[in-house]
Amino acid sequence: MSVLPSEALVLAGVVFVLGVRHGFDADHLATIDGLTRFNAAAGKRFARYCGALFSIGHGAVVAVTAIAAALLVGRWSPPGWLTMSGLWISITVLAALGLVNLGAAARADPQQVFAPVGFKGRFLGRLARASHPALIGLIGALFAISFDTISQAALFSVTATRISGVSYALVLGGVFTAGMLIVDGANGLWVARMIRRSDATARVASRVMAATVAVLSIAVAALGASRSLLPAVDAWSDSNELLCGFAVIATVLGAFLFSLWIGRRFAAARSQTVPAYQGPQ
């Protein structure tokens, strides 16, 4: 049995982190939120799995892109403008989504569970009310047909092919999807739980998580811009790619636990300050 070279293992770790980071895209979260709410209201048993279905469809396009890029690698080399264009599109979208969601969370009705805001979901039309698992997968696939996703998949596929061949490019497509599936699948379960509760704990927890994801989006965008403009930051980031990725994961996990704790504390404090109903006097 052959052992993957260390470069291939490191690349797999980086691609997994990229998949996790991609799953935190506010457009993903907002669309999964809407699909989960719609199907939960319709009584669909698969509602909690909308995030997983979305990721599977999204990942299928990533895998196809990875294979296509791997097969062309001998005759095509990604131009420099592809890397830079994909990077700056991603930076702009991340920063904009982060700022929009921070503002939306601040303005949201305090009596409602906060739903994240996205850009792409506004163009879904009737698909926004998809009530079949296959259609939800199709929505995920449509979201993957974007310049930043395609360019990212092509770039890691070309690198993978040069390290360990075409088959490894397909493996990395699966690794990327796995990272995204963990995040978006968990988000679908989280939204389903918040819908069932809809109490003070859920309202506070939803805002804490939304603010965390928004701030992380802005931070990742700032890091990407710094890497592009400052060679020293780029060198540091290249040598600490996995560390940065796991820091993002740890931050979100910590925010999740904190959101539940602070939500429960808020609900308990509120129940102590609101007098019990005594009935008609």
Name 259's Cβ contacts closer than 8 Å, sequence gap at least 6: 204, 205, 206, 208, 209, 212
CA distance 165 to 137: 29
| Average pLDDT value for residue range 219-242 | 83
Q: Determine the Cα–Cα distance for residues 75 and 72; give it in Å rounded to an integer.
A: 5
pLDDT category, 141, cuts 50, 70, 90? Answer: very high
> Per-residue confidence at 136, pLDDT binned at 50, 70, 90?
very high
End-to-end Cα, the chain, rounded Å: 81
Task: State the Cα torsion 27-19-134-131 to the nearest 10°.
Answer: -40
Q: Measure the CA–CA gap between 48 and 272, rounded to whole angstroms.
A: 33
**Over the stretch 71-126, which tens digit does the pLDDT of each residue have?**
876 565 656 666 677 678 778 888 888 888 888 888 877 777 777 877 777 777 77
Spatial CB neighbours of 273, under 8 Å, sequence gap ≥ 6:
none
Q: pLDDT category, 137, cuts 50, 70, 90?
A: very high
Mean pLDDT for the stretch of residues 204-224: 84
Dig out the tokens for 180 from the structure: 């995204």
pLDDT value at position 61?
Answer: 92
What is the C-alpha to C-alpha distance for residues 77 and 75, in angstroms, rounded to an integer?
7
What digits encode the pLDDT tens for the residues 147-184?
A: 778 877 887 888 787 777 778 888 888 999 999 999 89
DSSP 94: H
User: Is the distance from CB of 27 to CB of 144 less than 8 angstroms?
Assistant: no
Selection from 2, 5, 3, 1 nearest residue 159 by Cα: 5
Distance CA 120, CA 45 (A): 26
Those residues whose C-beta lies under 8 Å from the C-beta of residue 17, and which sit 6 or more positions away, are: 179, 241, 242, 244, 245, 246, 248, 249
Q: Would you say the pTM of this structure is higher than 0.85?
A: no
Given this model, what pLDDT does residue 3 score?
Answer: 45
- State which of 2-16, 53-67, 228-242, 258-272 shows the largest mean pLDDT: 53-67
pLDDT of 277 reads 45
Per-residue model confidence (pLDDT) at position 90: 78
Q: Looking at residues 35-47, what average pLDDT do you find?
A: 89
Indicate whether 2 pLDDT > 50.
Answer: no
Instruction: Inform me whether the pLDDT recorded for 4 exceeds 90.
Output: no
For range 21-50, the mean pLDDT: 88
- Grouping H, G, I as helix, E, B as strand and the rest as coil, residue 165 is coil
* CA 237 – CA 222 distance, rounded (Å): 12
**Residue 88 contacts residue 6 (beta carbons within 8 Å):** no
Which has the higher per-residue pLDDT, 50 or 6?
A: 50
Asked if 175 contacts 19 with a C-beta cutoff of 8 angstroms, the reply is yes
Which segment of 10-14, 53-57, 145-149, 232-236 scores lowest on mean pLDDT?
Answer: 145-149
Place of tokens 């980071």: 21
At residue 220 the predicted structure's pLDDT band, cuts being 50, 70 and 90, is confident
CA angle 32, 36, 42 (to 5 degrees): 150
Q: What is the pLDDT of residue 135?
A: 92
> Quick one: pLDDT at residue 198?
63
- Specify the pLDDT at position 133: 92
Token couple for 100 = 């929009």
Evaluate if residue 195 carries a pLDDT over 90: no
Residue 280: the pLDDT is: 53
181 in Cβ contact with 109 (< 8 Å): no
pLDDT computed for residue 11 by the predictor: 82
Share of the chain above pLDDT 70, in %: 88
Nearest of 95, 83, 114 to residue 194 by alpha carbon: 114
**Whole-angstrom Cα distance, residue 12 to residue 163?**
11
